[in-house]
Structure formats: structure tokens, C-alpha cells
Amino acid sequence: MRPIAELDQVTARRLCGVLFDLDDTLLDQGRLTELAYGALHRLSEAGLTLLAVTGRPAGYGEVLVPQWPIAGLVAENGAFAVLRDHGKLKLIDEASPDERKERHRRLQSLASEMQQRFALVPAADVHLRRCDFTFDIGEHQVVDDALVAKAAAFARANGAMTVRSTVHLHITYDGSDKASGTLRVLSRCFGYDPTFARDQFAFVGDSENDEAAFAAFHTSVAVANLRGRPTVSPQFVTRAPRGQGFAEFAQTLITLRQ
């Protein structure tokens, strides 16, 4: 990974937008600082399209999209999106209503069995979710890595997809990840060709569940607190962690575009 200071002007001026994770990327232990929120406003004022891309629930998008200077939020690791649409909210689900109902039934059954087998605790935000079920493994509970690995293997053996973040273990019967879900939204709702979108949007993240987006988008940035070992490393890294790192990236990008 190269320091964010090595981002070049040609790349910076080519970008149309910024995609960013929430927890431990924009947020500091779940809190939005003045510095990070100001960075969002400055990026928006610079004419960039902003999309949050997170494992957090769809319900977050219905609250945050009207309040923040962003075009939308891709939630639940790519399965659902909430977009700003002429003063209203547009909800985008990759599944039809009947498919969603059936996936929800299967998911609740699997989650119940996993709670009994592995004594896992649901995440505090699970009631706001539409497409996945999430267990707390690091936010308010500390779960041993070996147990998390066994639980994830059990879910996959039952046909589910699993994603692990710094704080949650997600299980789902949807096939999206942060990259495929975001590219689908950029194509269908914003009119971007997926190939060009990979080149015209930067992605900023911090953990292994961001690795699909690190691999998909040509300008990929990790804040300094990057955890785990993504298969494809981000192209750049900030000096500062979390919200400070996001603000550092934003200032670098804006300066180069002027």
C-alpha cells in the first residue's frame, strides 16, 4: 500500500464519486465526529457523488440518507440500498417480495439454530435489517475467533453466505457483496457503466469485509486502522485512523482536484 499523499492529480480529477464504509472508517467507535462530517460536506461541495457502503442495516439508510450530504446508502453488505430521489427515499431490494419472504423464513430458522448451537448473541441492530441476520462478535460481546469460524462454517454448510466485519458476523441467503451490490446500484439507478464505475469511484474502508470493494475499485483506500489481511490490498493508506483518516483522504482528494 502506498501513502495517500502519493495519490496523483490525474486520478483525483477523474473521480466522479466516493464510496465509503461506516464503522471504523467514517465513524470512531460508532460516533460521527465533526471532522469526519465536515469532510463529507466538503466532498459533496466539490461535486462528488457520495454513497455509504456498509454492513449496517437498511434501517440506518432510512435515517441517514435524508440527514447527510450523500446520494444514498448501500446496506447489509450490498443486498439493499436507500437512495435520495427528488426529496423522497427510494428503497432498492435485489429480491422480489416473494423471494424476500422465503429468504427471511430460511434465515430466521438458521439464525435460531445457530443461537442454540453456539450461544451467539444477536447484534443490537438486528431488528432494523431486511436481508441478513447479524451476530455480535465484537461490538458489545467478545467472541473467540475459533467459535466464530465454526459458526460461519455451519452457516455455509446450510447454504448461507457469511461475512465477517470487525464487530459482526453476518449470515444471509443473498448473493451480494459490497462491490457487486454497489455496482448494481450505480448502474441501475445512476446510469454508470459498471466497468467505468470501477475507475470513476474511489472506495474507502477498514476491514476484511471491504475486500471485494478493495479489489473492484481501482482507487481503493484504507484508513490506518485496517484490520485483517484482505486478499487484495487497498492501493493507498492514510496516516490517521478512522474518521481522521477519512478526513485526511478527503482533504488530499479535494486539494488535488482544485
**Who contacts 108 (Cβ-Cβ below 8 Å, separation ≥6)?**
133
- Using one digit for the tens of pLDDT, what is the confidence trace for 154-205? 999 999 999 998 889 999 999 999 999 999 999 999 999 999 999 999 999 9
Nearest partner of 43 among 10, 71, 66, judged by Cα: 71
For residue 50, what is the enclosing H or E element?
strand 49-53
2-94+176-257 carries CATH number 3.40.50.1000 = yes
Gap between the Cα atoms of 4 and 221, Å rounded: 8
Question: Between β-strands 132-136 and 121-122, what pairing exists: parallel, antiparallel or unpaired?
Answer: antiparallel
- Using one digit for the tens of pLDDT, what is the confidence trace for 195-237? 999 999 999 999 888 999 999 999 999 999 998 777 888 999 9
Q: How confident is the model at residue 207, as a pLDDT?
A: 87
Question: How many Cα atoms are found within 13 Å in the side-chain-facing hemisphere of 7?
Answer: 28
Residue 136 in contact with residue 181, Cβ under 8 Å?
no
Total-model pTM = 0.93
* Topology of domain 97-172, CATH: Hypothetical Protein Ta0175; Chain: A, domain 2 (3.90.1070)
The domain locations on the chain are 2-94+176-257, 97-172
Question: Between β-strands 2-3 and 49-53, what pairing exists: parallel, antiparallel or unpaired?
Answer: unpaired
- Which three cell numbers mark 126? 438486528
- Using one digit for the tens of pLDDT, what is the confidence trace for 5-28? 999 999 999 999 999 999 999 999
Which residue in the block uniquely carries the three cell numbers 473467540?
144
Flag whether pLDDT at 60 surpasses 90: yes
Rounded to 5 degrees, φ, ψ at 48 are -90, 140
- Amino acid letter, residue 44: S
Q: How confident is the model at residue 49, as a pLDDT?
A: 98
Give CA torsion, residues 169, 84, 245, 43, to 10 deg. Answer: 170
